[in-house]
Structure 1
Amino acid sequence: MDGNDTPAGKCPVMHGGLTNLSSTVTDWWPNALNFDILHQHDVMTNPMDVDYDYREELKKLDVAALKADLHALMEETQEWWPADWGSYVGMFARVAWHAAGSYRLADGRGGAGTGNQRFAPLNSWPDNVNTDKGRRLLWPIKKKYGNKVSWADLMILAGNIAYEHAGLKTFGFAFGREDIWHPEKDTYWGNEKEWLAPSDSRYGDVNDPSTMDNPLAAVQMGLIYVNPEGVNGQPDPQRTAHQVRETFARMAMNDEETAALTAGGHTIGKCHGNGTADNLSPDPEAADVEYQGLGWMGKVNRGIGRDTVVSGIEGAWTANPTKWDMGWFDMLFGYEWELKKSPAGANQWEPVDIKEEDMPVDVEDPSIRRKPIMTDADMAMKVDPIYNEICQKFIADPEYFSETFARAWFKLTHRDMGPRARYIGPDVPQEDLIWQDPVPAGPVHYDIGNLKAKIAASGLSLSEMVSTAWDSARTYRGSDMRGGANGARIRLAPQKDWEGNEPERLQKVLSVLEPLAAEAGASLADTIVLAGNVGVEKAAKAAGYDIAVPFTPGRGDATDEMTDAESFEPLEPIADAMRNWLKDDYAVSPEELMLDRAQLMTLTARELTVLVGGMRMMGTNHGGTKHGVFTDREGTLAPDFFVNLTDMAYKWEPVEDEKTYQIRDRKSGDVKWTASRVDLVFGSNSILRAYSEVYAQDDNAGKFVKDFVAAWAKVMNADRFDVV
């Protein structure tokens, strides 16, 4: 046997080595920091050419032809996956709804903006059963239009066209969602270890929906919002109403929008439960290769048509499930309802003594009529007095209902796209909507150099200028493109009063910058950022580097009337590693909070590292603490933080409270500096230490300054979609 041979029956690859998650670093060391969250959407996974620009490709798209193809698709039933009643409007409304419905306001994650429904875990959530079929039905159209339309845009447009095909006048549609190319596996969807586990673990008290863990919005692992059978599968419409209200509020919807979405979402399509889930193949992620990415296929009976199993509930809500009408209201409020079991054994509500003409026909045989159904969430709209009152208003004014639903649907499917400046296409509504966080265009023609000189001579300290600019910009979230310095909302409620923004210091700085901005004809938003740039340039010069921080004017100043103050509450920071601040003790460590925040700000591990080191050197710690200021020349943009952190002349020891640390000189025993956990993690964690060592090298002081300025400019400009 030569060196290339292997014994018969012995595989040359370590079994499980490529797929077994137990071999991961975090499995061996569960307390290790997981940096995968900062590596999401790595460009190395992107199959497109480096010069590919989706926004430019969209200019080549024949939108009218694409919409015509989608309208035609609604009626092109397939033998392998036949359409209910010969129409796919219910299918594609659900694909779009379930792509968008995972959005949550608390951290802006989820939603339809990245096409993440194609990947695990979302592609295999129990609540997403058979959305894989919808995407496969869309494939010929995606194949045809190729790079000119993303999966993310196509899935939402298909839902929009489904409603238009059914007869709804939609509010509009915007292109602009760019696809990702691998799973967002580090998004926190809950701590359960099994699908649809009882929701108690998500709540302090399951009877009080407001006690659900943040940032979660759905009530159980694997659901988009609430359990259609009731709380933990136990029917009780009033209890379900409370969960619906909390869940939709966490999706940024008010009561009227929630009622409209519930009614309009169930006006078309049906539930599927004419069989048992035991007869289905595994979900897409678990299915073997012969299923080619499809899951939940019938293994015993056909598993399609009238034999389809999805939620387990079986039946349509209205007599005309492919038409936009008031049928949901007619059915829910026109009959009394009783609790029944579906063929799959699920809890569902069915009407008492229904007229035959009000019964929808079978999806395959129009000579057969079937009983309609309602879920516990539907019944909640009738039982809950607030939702009932809203429904009565809709019943009295069908046009108002259609308009309210159309607007709520637009919000649901566009909520995570950010401001209107990112919207592309002929159907973009011209109306500014408050949930889009509108910002007026700012002045661009003013003397920037003169304004910078006046800021430098204003008497504000370097720390005050840099801290204020940072606080204004750090709210940006790449998850839903909200927050950031544009708009200068740091001067408005609620941001002006946030503890993390040091209100007293903030007001002092704003009182100096506001008249300078007015005199120069600049926006305050621009002036705040310019002040930060002045501080950074001053610190770089003190280190011997004459460098200009990139700046583009044009930020505007939002007003209170342009600001949905309540929706900005979730953007309040609870920790800021760059300013060495932690609001309170939390179940997760400060360094984990640091990584989560860095990912939301779209920072890489390298950018995170250089920003922390630079901010320490400029003395920007919250409250003026000296933790992590490992230097005798504060105010200088030099790499001392890394040099001294990695210097073995010092040793590190916890203070008794174990929340802070002392750095002692090994020879003298004197305490040289103090530190927090987020300071020392840059020396203790192997990944962060590797970056720290780069900046501690004798030949990289210039690189440190250059990299800091680039990372700083990225944060300051993260929300400048107006100059894309």
Structure 2
Amino acid sequence: MTWSNQEWWPNLLRLDILDDNAADLDPYGDDFDYAEEFQKLDLDEVKSDIADVMTDSQDWWPADYGHYGPLFIRMAWHSAGTYRTIDGRAGASGALQRLPPESSWPDNVNLDKARRLLQPVKQKYGRKLSWGDLIVLAGNVALESMGFETYGFAGGRVDEYKSNEAIEWGPETEWETTSPERFEDEEVGNLKDPLANTVMGLIYVNPEGPYGEPDLDGSAKNIREEFSRMAMDDEETVALIAGGHTFGKVHGADDETEVGPDPESAPIEQQGLGWDHDFEKAGMITSGIEGPWNATPTMWDTGYVDNLLDYEWEPHKGPGGAWQWRPADEDDRENIEKAPDAQDFDESEQPMMLTTDVALKHDEDFRAVLENFQENPDEFQAAFARAWYKLLHRDMGPKERFLGPEVPEGEFVWQDPVPDADYETVGEDEIEELEAAILDADIERSQLVKTAWASASTYRDSDKRGGANGARIRLEPQKNWEVNEPERLADVLDTYEEIQAEFNESRDDDVRVSLADLIVLGGNVAVEQAAADAGYDVDVPFAPGRTDASAEQTDADSFDPLEPKADGFRNYLGDGDYNDLYDTLEERLVDKAELLNLSVTELTVLVGGLRALGATYDDTDRGVFTDDPGTLTNDFFVNLLDMDYEWEPVDEDDEVFEGFDRDTGEKVWEATRFDLIFGSNARLRAHADVYAAEDGEEKLVEDFVEAWSKVMQADRFDLD
């Protein structure tokens, strides 16, 4: 085996997660437009083909109850359910379930079979239908085939062809384990960021209970913690669990049966299939828990809710050796309505419950939702439809990215809507007028840059949230984030609002400017002036058309995870209480760059350029290695790599450093790890060398303008 650099040096800063942002990994090539191809589909025909697969049991893999519907629901759920609001990563987009590690998670046992069953559908439609869309659509068709009315479906998920190495799944090195390091203060229900699942290799929580024990209090706590990290409230959480467990069963017929290796470990002749075992001999082995939840596992009804609430349940070890629950009263065990055996309809099975199910009944708030659903089945149906739609589409971003004839009317606040412009946007003449007004205003250049950056850099390419469009920087919670320097930000926004009001009121036509456009334009003007002062004439691209969202269009709570705990681009260290799994400041910098879809080159030039512009938190001199701040020079790289200076840490955490003149001993500079990593890390230093060269400044200016514009327009899906 040949070891990688990361294996030789485990503490080496992971920059390779940025490489995919600079590479074309799609086999269809740069010119491929999936949205255009998807629109060519006859969605009714696709759904008909999926429905045909649903009840067409194949000899090579059995269909429970003669229907693949429950299996396909689980496949869709486990694809979308990895999404977490903390960093917006995972979820159904990209179809990451077909790539490691998700392809071989213990919680995804036998979902390789579900995807393989759909292979003929994928082959038929080819590039017009991504795996990401097919997996989700199959879940919807499954529900509809069993009597449920779904809320809708949107296409538009573009497939990935390489595992997303930027997703942090946890500190454990073995599947189905939970280490104390996963939780803050080793406390159940208090996961460290950016995690959402409580067990390595499971989608959510351990169905047996925390640490594999039937602990109802701990299970309810974990459920609420996990689902809240998908921005689900109590009603949505109960609706999803109750709705999903209305269908199908869990499989743990025997704890003695040997199950083969997962797909990524399986021998080559199995062609990507894993978990091989003789199901005809021992029954299906999946979760290790055995049984259905109700008597009608292929029909939408309230059987799950009724069973859970109408019977008292006790824990016991099932045939698979795992903790599961049965009716506590022997008579109830005899009399509860049985389900047919999944393979032999002449036999029957007694319904069971998971610890996570009984925890819903045990928790006072969850139970109140269950009781309401039991009394009002229509509300249960509506709640599950909305929550299921949200689960499947939460990672897709704004509604303008949603494709197809089944996209429902209206918008949800979780889609971060912005209003349509009911006016004409500014043209070249108006832009020049506004640029002049900005330059005449009493706003420091660094504040223009920081305000634009604070607004636009909230964007996350993972789930397409954030960005400058909507001008949410003027709303809760962003306007009060410490990193945004609230008092100074308020002054800048007040000035922009004055410029906006004066401009809009002066017009005798339908042309208007939004605050969102002004914020970006102000940053662009500052960059152009800073480049001019350095001797370079540049035009920073500007595309008007942003609008201003209202507070009612903003789910303030769900924006909390977007707040930077530390920000290397503005040299903001935060308070040090990060409660996450990142060990160093530079890891947080790279993680943010990955969310912004930046390459290593773009990360490097943006940090160096922002330092030259003096765009640091609280106007600190840290990292501003120049005697001429506010001018777009290459001084940051020149002085960082200059061997006339030596560096010493000034705090025990090695986060802040001072730079001294080697000859005089005089303190010249102050820096953080965010700065010094560009001289310390070999790969970043190789990039810094390019910009530090005597002929590197012009390239820095050109590259900075391009990278800056990329961030400013990252959320402009209307420009695609």
Contact 1:441 1:554 in 2 (8 A): no
> Is it true that 1:624 corresponds to 2:603 in the alignment?
no
Aligned to 1:359: 338
Give 2:145's match in structure 1, choosing from 150, 165, 182.
Answer: 165
> Is it true that 1:113 corresponds to 2:89 in the alignment?
no
Equivalences for 1:408-487 in 2 at 5 Å?
Answer: 408-442=387-421, 443-446=423-426, 447-487=430-470
Seen in structure 2, the aligned counterparts of structure 1 residues 497 and 251 have a Cα distance that, compared at 3 Å, is: same
Aligned to 1:4: none
Contact 1:607 1:707 in 2 (8 A): yes
> Is it true that 1:571 corresponds to 2:562 in the alignment?
yes
Amino acid at match of 1:487: G
Aligned to 2:372: 393
What secondary structure sits across from 1:174 in the alignment? coil
Seen in structure 2, the aligned counterparts of structure 1 residues 659 and 230 have a Cα distance that, compared at 3 Å, is: closer
Pairwise CA distance, 1:49? 2.2
CA distance in structure 2 between the aligned counterparts of 1:495 and 1:656, rounded to whole angstroms: 30
Give 1:540's match in structure 2, choosing from 527, 531, 542.
Answer: 531
CA distance in structure 1 between the aligned counterparts of 2:456 and 2:48, rounded to whole angstroms: 42
What secondary structure sits across from 1:45 in the alignment? coil
Aligned to 2:571: 580
Instruction: For residues 16-74 of structure 1, give each alpha carbon's deviation from its aligned partner in whole angstroms, at most 9, with x where no partner exists.
Output: 12xxxxx1212222221011221246534321222111111112222111111011111
Aligned to 1:30: 10
Instruction: For residues 148-174 of structure 1, give each alpha carbon's deviation from its aligned partner in whole angstroms, at most 9, with x where no partner exists.
Output: 011111101111111111111101111
Give 2:311's match in structure 1, choosing from 335, 356, 368.
Answer: 335
Equivalences for 1:710-721 in 2 at 5 Å?
Answer: 710-721=706-717
CA distance in structure 1 between the aligned counterparts of 2:628 and 2:300, rounded to whole angstroms: 69
CA distance in structure 2 between the aligned counterparts of 1:622 and 1:238, rounded to whole angstroms: 43
> Is it true that 1:77 corresponds to 2:37 in the alignment?
no
Seen in structure 2, the aligned counterparts of structure 1 residues 342 and 553 have a Cα distance that, compared at 3 Å, is: same
Instruction: For residues 491-529 of structure 1, give each alpha carbon's deviation from its aligned partner in whole angstroms, at most 9, with x where no partner exists.
Output: 111111110000011001001001212333211111101
Give 2:673's match in structure 1, choosing from 670, 673, 677.
Answer: 677
> Is it true that 1:271 corresponds to 2:250 in the alignment?
yes
CA distance in structure 1 between the aligned counterparts of 2:486 and 2:88, rounded to whole angstroms: 25
Deviates more, 1:459-468 or 1:194-203: 194-203
Aligned to 2:285: 309
Normalising by the residue count of structure 1, what TM-score does the alignment of the two structures yield? 0.94
Pairwise CA distance, 1:668? 3.6
> Is it true that 1:214 corresponds to 2:218 in the alignment?
no
Pairwise CA distance, 1:714? 0.7
Instruction: For residues 295-351 of structure 1, give each alpha carbon's deviation from its aligned partner in whole angstroms, at most 9, with x where no partner exists.
Output: 1010xxx22697111111111111111111111122222323232322111111123
Amino acid at match of 2:435: K
CA distance in structure 1 between the aligned counterparts of 2:566 and 2:309, rounded to whole angstroms: 49
Contact 1:36 1:186 in 2 (8 A): no
CA distance in structure 2 between the aligned counterparts of 1:220 and 1:573, rounded to whole angstroms: 26
Contact 1:41 1:182 in 2 (8 A): no
Seen in structure 2, the aligned counterparts of structure 1 residues 441 and 72 have a Cα distance that, compared at 3 Å, is: same
CA distance in structure 2 between the aligned counterparts of 1:464 and 1:522, rounded to whole angstroms: 20
CA distance in structure 2 between the aligned counterparts of 1:105 and 1:384, rounded to whole angstroms: 24
Contact 1:199 1:219 in 2 (8 A): no
Equivalences for 1:281-292 in 2 at 5 Å?
Answer: 281-292=260-271
Aligned to 2:118: 138
Pairwise CA distance, 1:659? 3.2
Contact 1:231 1:239 in 2 (8 A): yes
Deviates more, 1:272-281 or 1:679-688: 272-281
> Is it true that 1:491 corresponds to 2:474 in the alignment?
yes
CA distance in structure 1 between the aligned counterparts of 2:222 and 2:649, rounded to whole angstroms: 44
CA distance in structure 2 between the aligned counterparts of 1:245 and 1:114, rounded to whole angstroms: 27
CA distance in structure 2 between the aligned counterparts of 1:588 and 1:651, rounded to whole angstroms: 25
CA distance in structure 2 between the aligned counterparts of 1:639 and 1:473, rounded to whole angstroms: 24
Contact 2:103 2:263 in 1 (8 A): yes
Equivalences for 1:637-716 in 2 at 5 Å?
Answer: 637-655=632-650, 658-716=654-712
CA distance in structure 1 between the aligned counterparts of 2:159 and 2:171, rounded to whole angstroms: 27
Normalising by the residue count of structure 2, what TM-score does the alignment of the two structures yield? 0.95
Amino acid at match of 1:344: G
Give 1:149's match in structure 2, choosing from 106, 118, 129.
Answer: 129
Contact 2:21 2:599 in 1 (8 A): no
> Is it true that 1:504 corresponds to 2:495 in the alignment?
no
Seen in structure 2, the aligned counterparts of structure 1 residues 303 and 518 have a Cα distance that, compared at 3 Å, is: farther
What secondary structure sits across from 1:719 in the alignment? coil
> Is it true that 1:554 corresponds to 2:550 in the alignment?
no
Contact 1:659 1:677 in 2 (8 A): yes
CA distance in structure 1 between the aligned counterparts of 2:187 and 2:626, rounded to whole angstroms: 53
Contact 2:99 2:163 in 1 (8 A): yes
CA distance in structure 2 between the aligned counterparts of 1:331 and 1:580, rounded to whole angstroms: 56
Deviates more, 1:350-359 or 1:640-649: 350-359
Deviates more, 1:416-425 or 1:659-668: 659-668
Aligned to 2:507: none
Aligned to 1:55: 35
Seen in structure 2, the aligned counterparts of structure 1 residues 401 and 617 have a Cα distance that, compared at 3 Å, is: same
Q: CA RMSD in A?
A: 1.7
What secondary structure sits across from 1:415 in the alignment? helix
CA distance in structure 2 between the aligned counterparts of 1:257 and 1:559, rounded to whole angstroms: 25
The runs of 5 or more residues in structure 2 that have no matched partner are 504-511
Contact 2:196 2:204 in 1 (8 A): yes
Amino acid at match of 1:366: F
Give 2:219's match in structure 1, choosing from 237, 240, 245.
Answer: 240
Aligned to 1:180: 160
Q: Give the total of aligned pairs.
A: 700
CA distance in structure 2 between the aligned counterparts of 1:403 and 1:596, rounded to whole angstroms: 38
Equivalences for 1:7-46 in 2 at 5 Å?
Answer: 16-17=1-2, 23-40=3-20, 43-46=23-26
Contact 1:81 1:304 in 2 (8 A): no
Instruction: For residues 258-284 of structure 1, give each alpha carbon's deviation from its aligned partner in whole angstroms, at most 9, with x where no partner exists.
Output: 110110010111101112375111011
What percent of counterpart residues are identical? 51
Pairwise CA distance, 1:665? 3.1
What secondary structure sits across from 2:211 in the alignment? coil
CA distance in structure 2 between the aligned counterparts of 1:340 and 1:617, rounded to whole angstroms: 66
The runs of 5 or more residues in structure 1 that have no matched partner are 1-15, 18-22
Seen in structure 2, the aligned counterparts of structure 1 residues 79 and 212 have a Cα distance that, compared at 3 Å, is: same
Instruction: For residues 138-195 of structure 1, give each alpha carbon's deviation from its aligned partner in whole angstroms, at most 9, with x where no partner exists.
Output: 1111011000011111101111111111111101111011111111133111101111
CA distance in structure 2 between the aligned counterparts of 1:379 and 1:87, rounded to whole angstroms: 27
Give 1:346's match in structure 2, choosing from 294, 319, 322.
Answer: 322
CA distance in structure 2 between the aligned counterparts of 1:444 and 1:151, rounded to whole angstroms: 39
Instruction: For residues 424-483 of structure 1, give each alpha carbon's deviation from its aligned partner in whole angstroms, at most 9, with x where no partner exists.
Output: 110111121011111112454222221111111112111010010001111111111111
What secondary structure sits across from 1:581 in the alignment? coil
Seen in structure 2, the aligned counterparts of structure 1 residues 341 and 41 have a Cα distance that, compared at 3 Å, is: farther
Contact 2:21 2:594 in 1 (8 A): no
Contact 1:650 1:664 in 2 (8 A): yes
Aligned to 2:362: 383
